[in-house]
């Protein structure tokens, strides 16, 4: 139970731009579903005989992802991003973050690293991300509006061009 509470806290905190840290969120079930789905994707990838190659991932316009009601769920995707927030918990084999595609604040992704990178990521790190889209996530901001971002399960990450 303690791990679930810590995970929910991390997920809820990291899903927010810094100016919206006190946002109100949807229920705990959403986070449990995300983590369960992440473990399913991780198992599927490890069972694949032919591991995905870089060319198996598509570059998709952010607007196209956001236009789809399901956020192009289960689509392999790659993009360049800058770390806005990143957190890992020693009791978990995965980490969470908020990244800005091409450094643009209006193109945020909530990312889940299914394996911990070799080294901790820091705000401002430039990443090439390869992974699977997992729908979209909407939360309520402190000023009463909503923010919707794609959820992305990272399968491979290059930090400043170095494979982590």
Q: Is 23 a domain residue?
A: no
Calculate what percentage of the chain has a pLDDT beyond 70.
67
Check residues 152 and 160 and name the one with the higher pLDDT. 152
Structural domain count, the chain: 1
- pLDDT tens readout for residues 34-88: 666 766 766 666 666 667 888 999 999 999 999 998 999 999 999 999 999 999 8
| Nearest partner of 98 among 64, 70, 139, judged by Cα | 139
Inside any domain, residue 134? yes
CB atoms within 10 A of CB 10: 17
In a domain, 116, yes or no: yes
Is 117 inside any structural domain?
A: yes
The pLDDT, as a whole number, for residue 15 is: 44
Q: Which of 26, 46, 21 is nearest to 155 (CA)?
A: 46
CATH code of 153's domain:
2.40.50.140
- For residues 12-25, average pLDDT: 39
Q: What distance in Å separates the CA atoms of residue 163 and residue 136, rounded to the nearest whole number?
A: 27
pLDDT at 107 over 70: yes
Q: Any idea of the CA torsion for 159, 18, 25, 72, to the nearest 10 degrees? A: -40
In a domain, 32, yes or no: no
pLDDT reported for residue 110: 92
Residue 6 domain-assigned? no
Q: Which two tokens stand for residue 67?
A: 């236009």
Strands in the chain per DSSP E: 76-88, 95-101, 108-113, 126-140, 146-159, 162-163
Q: Residue 109 is part of which domain span?
A: 60-159
Residue 94 domain-assigned (yes or no): yes
């Amino acid at each position: 139970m303690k791990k679930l509470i810590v995970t929910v806290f991390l997920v809820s905190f990291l899903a927010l731009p810094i100016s919206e840290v006190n946002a109100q969120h949807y229920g705990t079930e959403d986070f449990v579903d995300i983590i369960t789905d992440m473990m399913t994707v991780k198992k599927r990838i490890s069972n694949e005989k032919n591991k995905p190659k870089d060319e198996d991932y598509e570059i998709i316009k952010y607007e196209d992802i956001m236009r789809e009601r399901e956020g192009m769920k289960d689509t392999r995707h790659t993009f360049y991003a800058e770390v806005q927030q990143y957190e890992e918990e020693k009791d978990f084999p995965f980490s969470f973050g908020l990244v800005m595609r091409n450094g643009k604040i209006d193109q945020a992704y909530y990312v889940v690293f299914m394996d911990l990178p070799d080294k901790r990521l820091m705000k401002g790190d430039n990443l090439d991300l390869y992974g699977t889209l997992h729908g979209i996530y909407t939360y309520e901001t402190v000023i009463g509006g909503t923010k919707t971002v794609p959820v992305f399960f990272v399968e491979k990450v290059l930090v400043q061009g170095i494979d982590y």
